[in-house]
Amino acid sequence: MKKDREYNPLFFLSERLEFPPIETANSEGLLAVGGDLSPERLLLAYQNGIFPWFNEDSLILWWSPDPRMVLFPNKIRISKSMKKVLASGQFTLTKNTCFEEVLLQCATVKRLGQQGTWITEDMKKAYLELHQTGLAKSYEVWQKGVLVGGLYGVDLGHVFCGESMFSTVSNASKFAFIHLAQELESKNYRVIDCQLHTKHLESLGAEEIPRNEFIKLLS
């Protein structure tokens, strides 16, 4: 079997709590298949630059893409229009008051060009359990008492691993993301892990860096 980066043999996880070296991921970033979504395995994954991403009818897939999309908190980009939104008082922000609802909204709110969701029932259960340990956190955006946006992710104490965000009114998810970045900058966090490139994240100041640089930031 060819052993170049694109054709590396796929690693199947067992019950043993381990992952293969991230350098063995294929060219798309797929590293391993199987295992479970226990809090212990999820924490080990995030600590090593790995995250789960799969569909409802799929085995658990584990990824470590190269390059990696990240946001350095001090590089958050706030447009003139968003500065007006931030100053307008139309939104209020809370943290960890309704993690499950944020998770459900991220799973169900339709996104342009996207069919279905990768936040499966098993993923919901896993991140709710991770939230109960204090590792998974949510930021909620409210407008006139109604939840209109938010995000959730895994907080490693020096790196925040963003998982998903949603918005039912314009700019609500941006509002949450900007506040997250500003808070993490004040706490000297190294980086926000955005995982994969999107134009939306790029417009907010996120950038791609080599995976080995991201791993150094995790250390």
pLDDT at position 111 is 52
Note the pLDDT tens digit of each residue in 42-57. 999 999 999 999 987 7
- Name the least confident of 4-13, 15-24, 137-146, 170-179: 4-13
Average pLDDT, the chain: 92
* Mean pLDDT confidence for 2-22: 79
Q: Which two tokens stand for residue 182?
A: 């500003």
Angle formed by the axes of helices 172-186 and 80-88, to 10°?
A: 90
Confidence of residue 117 (pLDDT cuts 50, 70, 90): low
Residue 118 has pLDDT above 80, yes or no: no
pLDDT at position 57 is 77
Q: Reduce the secondary structure of 77-126 to three states and give it as a string.
A: CCCHHHHHHHHHCCCEEEECCCHHHHHHHHHHCCCCCCCCCCCCHHHHHH
Q: Which two tokens stand for residue 156?
A: 């490693």
